[in-house]
Amino acid sequence: MHIAEGFLPPLHAAAWMAVSLPFVAVSAYRVDRLMREQPQIKLLLAAAGAYAFILSALKLPSVTGSCSHATGTGLGAILFGPSVMALLGTIVLVFQALLLAHGGLTTLGANVFSMAIAGPWIAHAVFHGSRRLHAPLAVSVFLAATLGDWATYLVTTGQLALAFPDPVSGVAGAAVKFAGVFALTQIPLAIIEGLLTVIVINLLNQNSRQELDLLAFAPGDVR
Amino acid sequence: MQAIDHHAWTNRWRDWHPAEKLLPAGSLLILTLILPPLSSGPLVLGSMAWATVRGAGVPARALLNVLAAPAAFLVAGVPFLAVSVHFADGLGLYWSPDGLRLALDTTVRALAAVSCLAFLTLTTPLTDLIALLRRLGIPAGLIELILLVYRLIFVFAERALTGRRAQTARLGYVRFDRSLRSVGGLASNLFQRALHQARRMEIGLAARGYTGELRVLGSERALSWPRLMMGMTLVALIGLMGEWLARGLS
């Protein structure tokens, strides 16, 4: 969930930008070097970035009938790797703010941290962890996407709780409040996204082996 | 998405130098965060709406659509700022006056901030803003990457819409399990086509002597200092008035 423009107090907005900046800078440096070594990879990365944007705009089927969107964090982390996702995710979040007014420029740092850094890294770690434990591909993909989503929402919850501590019960109380609200919608949503990611990876494995081979720069354990 | 982009390219202030729009809107956005929201928020909202609709000639409906985007987030988050929980004896919930004030402040601040963002996106094409990144010392390669992402988004969006329409026509979304399958199919198909597109562009560019740099003709526009100064003065005035109102109110 994107924190809306202007929702965070200035100090928090600035602090989250400072936290996210080194991750994005390292990712940008790596991608820049990658593109200098192999110029043609620029087009591939651009396609990946635009794909991530469209993925996040796809409407998910939802049980309650409300309109909800995929985050694409898990799929992106599995396909492209978290170190590339930090930059691509940031680009996508800037475009979402400027083209759709989802999220914002002042809350960009906080949103980048939850959606382009924490989510992909957790998804990546879960995916590799469960692959190492010899879990089947489908199970690993499901766990990575679902837990990556939950991680994103927990981070957002933490960010909101730190910014708006409860007058009585403090940060912990606020965290319980926000987690409670998000849990209603996000627990089922993340499970739906997990299932969806499994379907996508299975279809890609069946039909797009060649395209997957192009992603040689990514960890690429899908192959 | 198409709506915002459409107005950005067709509004009356489209040909102004992007810095003339970015600097005032950006400073006003920062002021919005710093100043007390209840006094300065409505001022910011009003002046940005005026600049967007009267100045740049963007239809008011488009502006309202952009302002409504974060509404869902505000509706979900704000009531919980006004409610307090405590765990002393079990779980208790009650209204708190401080929380109510905080909820009001946050809503007004967020709406004012979104109006600054709306002004910027509705009057300035993204390519203009991306070109400004060069001034921040972002490598040319990364800027090209960002521009390519921007162009491909519209290509892929059209494919996604077409695919979805085709699936709907084949009853792909009549039941929950079918919807899930359809979205999965759509996402994987789009991925395949996205990478295919990248490969085709690669071959096409290689045939034209691509060595890692895409040269495009940028439109050079002179920065109008009077306009920029006027914008910044207005921003400063809004800031001073907000501060003065806040003193008067308290």
Q: Does residue B164 sit within a domain? A: yes
Distance of alpha carbon B31 from alpha carbon B44, whole angstroms: 9
DSSP state, residue B40: H
Read out DSSP for A97-145? Answer: IIII--S-STTHHHHIIIIIIIHHHHHHHHHHHHHHTT--HHHHHHHHH
Distances (CA, A) of A7 to A14, A15, B112: 13, 14, 10
Judgement on whether residues B194 and B145 belong to the same structural domain of the protein: yes
Residue B26: predicted pLDDT: 92
Distance of alpha carbon B187 from alpha carbon A59, whole angstroms: 11
Classify strands B92-95 and A68-69 as parallel, antiparallel or unpaired: unpaired
Residue A62: predicted pLDDT: 57
Q: Does residue B243 sit within a domain? A: no
Judgement on whether residues B11 and B114 belong to the same structural domain of the protein: yes
Whether the Cβ atoms of residue A104 and residue A97 lie closer than 8 Å to each other? yes
**Token reading at A108:** 């960009």
Judgement on whether residues B140 and B202 belong to the same structural domain of the protein: yes
Distance of alpha carbon A63 from alpha carbon A43, whole angstroms: 37
pLDDT, one tens digit for every residue, chain B (250 residues): 678 889 888 889 888 888 889 999 999 999 998 888 888 888 999 999 999 999 888 999 989 888 887 776 777 677 777 777 776 656 667 777 777 888 888 888 988 999 999 999 999 988 888 888 888 888 888 998 999 899 899 999 999 999 999 999 999 888 888 888 898 889 888 888 888 888 888 888 889 888 777 777 767 778 889 989 999 999 899 989 888 888 887 6
Question: Domain residues of chain A, as ranges?
Answer: 10-214
Residue A68: predicted pLDDT: 65
Whether the Cβ atoms of residue A27 and residue A35 lie closer than 8 Å to each other? no
Judgement on whether residues B24 and B96 belong to the same structural domain of the protein: yes
Domain boundary among B124, B145, B172: B124
Judgement on whether residues B120 and B26 belong to the same structural domain of the protein: yes
- Nearest partner of A181 among B72, B113, B106, B95, judged by Cα: B72
Residue A64: predicted pLDDT: 47
Residue A126: predicted pLDDT: 94
Judgement on whether residues B140 and B117 belong to the same structural domain of the protein: no
Q: Does residue B218 sit within a domain? A: no
Residue B140: predicted pLDDT: 86
Q: Does residue B200 sit within a domain? A: yes
Residue A6: predicted pLDDT: 87
Domain boundary among B124, B143, B178: B124
Residue A223: predicted pLDDT: 44
Judgement on whether residues B37 and B120 belong to the same structural domain of the protein: yes
Structural domains in chain B (count): 2
Distance of alpha carbon A142 from alpha carbon A197, whole angstroms: 7
DSSP state, residue A166: B
Q: What is the CATH number of domain A10-214?
A: 1.10.1760.20
Whether the Cβ atoms of residue B190 and residue A70 lie closer than 8 Å to each other? no
User: Is residue A171 less than 8 Å (CB to CB) from chain B?
Assistant: no
Judgement on whether residues B57 and B143 belong to the same structural domain of the protein: no
Report A:81-110 residues touching B (Cβ under 8 A): 87, 91-92, 95, 97-102, 104-106
Q: Does residue B231 sit within a domain? A: no
Judgement on whether residues B106 and B9 belong to the same structural domain of the protein: yes
Nearest C-alpha in B relative to A3: B73
Q: Does residue B182 sit within a domain? A: yes
Distances (CA, A) of B222 to B18, B184, B249: 10, 48, 43
With CB atoms and an 8 Å threshold, state whether B198 touches A169. no
Q: Does residue B11 sit within a domain? A: yes
Residues of A in contact with B1 (CB under 8 A): 57, 99-100
Q: What is the mean pLDDT of each run of 10 residues along chain A (223 residues)?
A: 85 95 94 84 86 81 57 84 90 90 90 93 93 90 92 90 82 82 80 89 82 62 49
Compute the nearest-CA separation of A82 from chain B (Å): 18
Q: What size, in residues, is chain A?
A: 223
Residue A189: predicted pLDDT: 83
Q: Does residue B113 sit within a domain? A: yes
With CB atoms and an 8 Å threshold, state whether A164 touches B106. yes
Judgement on whether residues B142 and B36 belong to the same structural domain of the protein: no
Judgement on whether residues B146 and B201 belong to the same structural domain of the protein: yes
Residues of the domain holding B43: 2-124
